[in-house]
Amino acid sequence: MRFGGASGAWVNAREIELVRALLPEFQRALDLGCGTGRLTRALVPHGRVVGIDTSRAMLTQAQRENVLALAQGDAFALPFADASFDAVVALRVAFHFADLEALLSQVARVIAPRGVFVFDTYLWSPRAWLPLAPARWGGGVFVHPPARVETLAARMGWQVARREFCFLFSPYIYRRLPLAIVRALARIETRVPARLRARVFWKMARVM
């Protein structure tokens, strides 16, 4: 539903491209909060990938082509041994949680030394401000100021390897616009200071 139509497909392709640009070569990756598996599927040609999600309905949808390794489980109690993965990706997941510390701590446990964690946060979003927005637009969203994310990451033994500031506003709105407008927004985005964009894609490396 989120990625239907030409503009939805554009948003999907852009997000997958952002993740691929930040993710190094990997042997075994975890797609945390994999949802319907759009990213899991895109990563499969590049290495072994496991998708995990709490939602049975999401996993059923993800498994419709029967090609993915999926598990039902909680990001805060991951059913994997320590250092099981050299890459972990959580796309459109972290911003649903007010406190990133618990998430970073769980990922730190299952990721190998020097492993890479790619995830995204919001700099601003109307979904974080409007009281009725979470119910209408698919769950609560929290804003995470980049400076605070960096301080937390450093304290927890993560090194910020790269950050990409992207989208002028929530992609939820992009997908409702004609593709020509979406493409024009992408051009405008390159002229807008990074700090005024809406979302940040993070690449963090485990250093402890």
Ligand X SMILES: C[S@@+](CC[C@H](N)C(=O)[O-])C[C@H]1O[C@@H](n2cnc3c(N)ncnc32)[C@H](O)[C@@H]1O
The Cα–Cα gap between 122 and 137 comes to 15
For residue 111, give both structure tokens: 């990721």
The residue whose Cβ lies closest to ligand X is: 35
The Cα–Cα gap between 208 and 194 comes to 30
Residue type, 179: L
H/E stretch holding 192 reads: none
Beta carbon of residue 153, minimum distance to ligand X (angstroms, whole number): 20
The Cα–Cα gap between 92 and 15 comes to 10
Beta carbon of residue 53, minimum distance to ligand X (angstroms, whole number): 5
Q: Which of residues 39-78 bind ligand X (CB under 6 A)?
A: 39, 53-55, 58, 74-76
Q: Which of residues 74-103 bind ligand X (CB under 6 A)?
A: 74-76, 91-93
Q: Would you say 36 or 86 has its CB closer to ligand X?
A: 36
Least Cα distance to 124 among 170, 180, 184, 164 occurs for: 170
118 part of the interface to ligand X, by CB under 6 A? no
Q: Which of 11, 19, 35, 100: binder of ligand X (CB under 6 A)?
A: 35
* Of 32-40, 142-150, 184-192, 193-201: span binding ligand X (CB under 6 A): 32-40
33 part of the interface to ligand X, by CB under 6 A? yes
Q: Would you say 58 or 182 has its CB closer to ligand X?
A: 58
Q: Would you say 93 or 149 has its CB closer to ligand X?
A: 93
Place of tokens 């640009």: 21
Backbone angles phi, psi at 59, to 5 degrees: -65, -35
DSSP-based three-state secondary structure for 141? coil
Chain residues that interact with ligand X, rule: CB under 6 A = 33-35, 38-39, 53-55, 58, 74-76, 91-93
